[in-house]
Copies of this chain bind each other. A is one copy, B any other.
């Protein structure tokens, strides 16, 4: 969101063999031979925190996976209202093979590295690799399920439930170490609000309310969250199924 972002911030050795997404992303199901083939058409690209990677309806000449860092997807109305519609974490894929236009704005949250492919070459590659295409379909269907779960949150949950839901997702990503679960937010209140379809003040108030009710504790000026009882938090989020 801030200006003065940088395009190249760091160099580190990165190959398909050392890729953090090797066993989670689109390459999860393929063997070393195929990895070699896809490796020949990849190209790493980096963006600095806050930089805009693509704008809604603008050019997006590549598809690719996040290797390191995170980014967010947003859609907006002409008067400035913004809704986050997705978050990209390591191994997540973005873009439409064969198309060169972005459906939403893509912004780097932190410094981020993508493993990218020319959108047309990648579509061609898909035709020759049932491993990658079946995995990509699977991942996309999961994204669709997640988007639809978020629709339930946006359309029907209360502010309190929304914030509790967001936090419980956060804690579930932390390795389930001994409690308390501890998590330092990479996002500001404003970004969380954009994600949850709320105002930043409402997010702040609900965080305070959850703290008052003993469901979470805060540290570090409200940027680090602690949770002693995740199931209680999930209950406050209106969650029923254990996914």
The chain A residues found within 8 Å of chain B, CB to CB, are 56-57, 73, 75-79, 81-83, 85-86, 96-98, 103-104, 123, 126-127, 130, 133-134, 136-138, 140-141, 143-145, 147-152, 154-157, 196-197, 238, 240-241
A104 to B241, CA, bound (A): 12
Q: Which of B57, B133, B148 contacts A75 (CB 8 A)?
A: B148
Quick check: A103 and B238 within 8 Å, CB to CB?
no
A238 to B98, CA, bound (A): 29
Shortest CB distance A126–B (Å): 6
Q: Which of B130, B143, B157 contacts A133 (CB 8 A)?
A: B130
Q: Which B residues lie within 8 Å of A138 (CB)?
A: 96, 98
Q: Which B residues lie within 8 Å of A197 (CB)?
A: 154-156
Shortest CB distance A41–B (Å): 17
Show 9 A/B contacts (Cβ-Cβ < 8 Å), sorted by A. Answer: A77-B157, A83-B155, A123-B134, A127-B130, A140-B144, A143-B144, A144-B144, A151-B151, A156-B197
Q: Which B residues lie within 8 Å of A143 (CB)?
A: 144
A81 to B158, CA, bound (A): 11
Shortest CB distance A193–B (Å): 10
Q: Which B residues lie within 8 Å of A133 (CB)?
A: 130, 133-134, 137
Shortest CB distance A198–B (Å): 8
Q: Which B residues lie within 8 Å of A134 (CB)?
A: 123, 126-127, 133
